[in-house]
Each structure stands twice: as C-alpha cells, then as structure tokens.
Chain A
C-alpha cells in the first residue's frame, strides 16, 4: 500500500471522529431518556404504577428471569417469528416465480394481491382462531399474513424490472426461461430481496405479537396482554423493551447475512 499523505490522514481522522461522535450522541440520548424516566418516577412526577421505571423494570426482569420463565416466553416469540419469516421467504419466492413466468397469471392475480396487501391483517386474526384454534398455527399464519402479500408485490416488481438487455443477452446465448431465472433474474434481485427480508422480519414480529394477543398462553404478546389486564404494567413495558431489542437484533442479523453473502459471491 502507498504511504498516506498528511492530508489524507487528517481527513480519515476527521471522518472517524465524526462517526464516533454520532455513536456517542446516540448512546447519550438513550442514557438520558432512562435517567429522566427514573428521576421522574422517583420524585413522583409520573406515577410509576402506570409508567413504571427503569429500576422497576430491571427488578421485574431479574425476578421473571428466575421464576416466571421469561426466557421461555422470549424463546417462543422468537421461534414463532423465525418460522413465519422462513415460510414467508419460501412462499414469496415460489409465488413470485410462478407469477413471473406467466404474464397472464400475474395480471389476473394483481388486484387480489393489492387488496390482500392493503387489508388490515389483524382483522383476519379472530377468523383464524375459529378456523385453526387458539394455538401456534394461528400465530404463525397471522405473522405470515402481515408480511407475505407486500413482499410478493415488491419482489415481483423487482423481477419485472430486471435489466431487459441482460435477459436479451441470455436469450441470444440460447438460454431457456430457467436460465433467465437462475442466471439473471434471481442474482440481479439479490440486493432487493435482502431489503424485502429486512422489512419482513419486522413485519413477521408484528404479526406474531398480534397473534399472541389473542391466541396464546405464552410469548411476549401474551405477557403484554395478560400484564395489562392484571395491571402489571412493569411486565408490559419490560416486554415492549425486549421486543425493541429483538427487532433490532433480527434486523442486524439479516444485515450481517447480507454483508457476508455479498462479500462471498
């Protein structure tokens, strides 16, 4: 590597400093938020019975960790989210490929997909309970229903906007429809697919929580609903904070997989 000039080193240091600053400010906001929350609760400015407080949440957390099977609840929610997420990926790819290979099929299906996508999926949940029972099936299907229609629509849009000249190239090389799919359309849409996945993991979590609200005996959604009914708002707010961490972690995990994949190929 060439030796860096003074100005280049200065520039890099300046950029690094800026990045560090942003990280510090981000962290400070979080600390300040918890700090003021705690102070306000301690001084009685807000009612800690309704608004809880960081310390109450912490004690609630350690307490539930040992005797209320908190990890079990978290695990169930995570598992349900991951299962519905994987099923969404599978069915999105399958259905999008089927729609892509027949223009007629996609034209026929388009209005149905648009309507199903705009439909508030929580409206379906009560029906699903009646059909499938108050169990994990209902929860997973609710999770899927929130994500799947939108992701089919976005992936299909990506498919039909694949560079037509690249498709023409494969055709001039004698390629079949399968060649076009596997050698151009799918690799071309990998970045778009990762964006869809990043949105979907969050949507699946939303759907799973909706499902748990009405059909579960365990999971964080159940803790939230149960906690609010018996006025254990520490439970509710703690569960919400854990959901924030889960959402961040899942999003980060997909980002990590994306980075690894793009580097490898």
Chain B
C-alpha cells in the first residue's frame, strides 16, 4: 500500500509571554490510503494540535508532514474535512443550508453538488429534516448532519476531533457506529482523535498511542478485527478486550 500521509520528526510548541509549552516532540507515523487511524493519549497531550496541522491551521516548527511524498502546504485545506468536538451547526441556518456552508465558501454550490447533498441526506436519513433548524434534531442526527457537511466537499482525508465527546453514552455508541459505517462506505481515509480507548478500537484500523505532553508516539498498534464487523459488533468480539488491556497498560506506563 502506498503511504498517504507521513509525519517525520514533527515538533511544535505553543508560545505565550509567560513561556513556551512544548506540545509535540518528534512525532513519527504514517497513514495509508483508506486507513482509519485512531490517536489516543492523555487529555491535553497535543492530539488536537496534530489535526490542526493536517487541516493547515498550524504549521510544524520542525520536521515535515508529507502527502504522497510532497510537503503539505499550509493552505492545502481543500481535500481535508474536519469534524470538530461539537457539531457546530449554525442555529440561524436550516440543516440543508448548514450543509451548503463549505460549498458556498469554496464556490462549489451548483446543481450537481446540490443533487449530491440530497443523495447524502436521503441515504443517511436526514432528508425530511433538510428544512429544520438544528435545535429540532437529536444529538446523533446533528452529528450526522455535520458529517454530511464535510462529505459534500468530497474530502480525501477526514479529521475527527473527539466528535462524539459531547453526546451521552448511548447516543455516542450509536453515532460512532453510524459515522464509522458511513466513512467505510464512502471509502474515506480518516484520523480520529479520542481519549476513549473503546471508541479507538471499535473504529480504528490502527491505534496510535501518544505520551503526555510533550507528546511522542509511544506505540502504534494495528487492530486486526474483521472488516465485516460494524463498530458496535467489534466491541463484542473476543479480541476486543485484549486490545483494550494492551492500550490501557501502554497509556498508564510511567504516567
């Protein structure tokens, strides 16, 4: 398989008047096409910083990030979709208008993309809610709408920054399952940042464990669970517990 994205010795610090806070320290890992990489680590370790770099919002202070061997340009945000911690749907827009947001910004709103939006809305059960305001939808539906807002731009890479953390436990399991299935079906490469070990194993094809700040890659664990299983079914498979214990131990070493 060809390497899609590669982090080489990536280094980053946050600067304030009161001092410098190193966030990332020599990060090395790679992502293949159609991978679903889950990044876990203690809270505040710099996981979100990694995603911000991939989205082109921050540039590394040292080292390099390459996409198909070429350096990532700071404004090459076009083929990257970013899902934030909350759905960030705009209350002053209808669901459909919310989904058009990225298309409007990128000046791609036309009959073709509108038709594609309708297809996605129908496929993922939101078509009847296209003219509703976000507050009329449940948390899981809102998160799906947020994913569609990203998918209509046909991104090559999806970045998920703890997208389920604002949901209650049951909705979180179901939405995680939905979103995982959608990403698999649409054949996207995805990077998920989470502090929930179970979520990482149930969704990821590879789990990257980061140390506490400044973050380094502690270990990369490939998850070998059947591709056929849905994220919810994976939680019930016998190997799941072993992976969980392995990652748990790794996270708690010299913590």
Contacts and interface: CB of A to CB of B under 8 A. Distances in A.
Contacts of A160: none
A161 B20 CA distance: 25
A169 B149 CA distance: 11
B102 interface: yes
B142 to A, nearest CB: 13
A250 interface: no
A3 interface: no
A215 to B, nearest CB: 42
A19 interface: no
27 contacts: A163-B88, A165-B85, A168-B84, A169-B88, A169-B101, A170-B101, A170-B105, A171-B55, A171-B57, A171-B77, A172-B55, A172-B77, A173-B77, A173-B101, A173-B102, A173-B105, A174-B75, A174-B78, A179-B105, A183-B90, A183-B101, A183-B104, A183-B105, A184-B90, A187-B90, A187-B92, A190-B92
B92 A169 contact: no
Contact of A172 (B82, B85, B86, B92): B82
Which of B78, B84, B88, B153 has its CB near the most chain A CB atoms (within 10 A)?
B88
B80 interface: yes
Contacts of B85: 165
A174 B84 contact: no
Nearest to A179: B105
A265 B92 contact: yes
Interface residues of A, number: 18
Contact of B80 (A168, A172, A187): A172
B254 interface: no
Interface in B48-104: 55, 57, 75, 77-78, 80-82, 84-86, 88, 90, 92, 101-102, 104
Given A172-B80, A172-B82, A179-B105, A166 B90 contact: yes
Contacts of B77: 171-174
A249 interface: no
A183 B92 CA distance: 10
In which size bucket is the chain B interface?
20 to 34
A175 interface: yes
Given A171-B57, A173-B102, 7 more contacts: A171-B55, A172-B57, A172-B77, A172-B84, A174-B77, A183-B101, A188-B92
B16 interface: no
Contacts of A265: 92
A166 B75 CA distance: 19
B47 to A, nearest CB: 15
Contacts of A187: 90, 92
A210 B135 CA distance: 46
B106 A173 contact: yes
B105 A175 contact: yes
Nearest to A174: B77
Contacts of B75: 174
Contacts of B105: 170, 173-175, 179, 183
Nearest to A169: B88
B106 A165 contact: no
A236 B77 CA distance: 66
Interface string A68-83: 0000000000000000
A165 B84 contact: yes
B102 to A, nearest CB: 4
Contacts of B80: 172
Contacts of B153: 173
B99 to A, nearest CB: 11
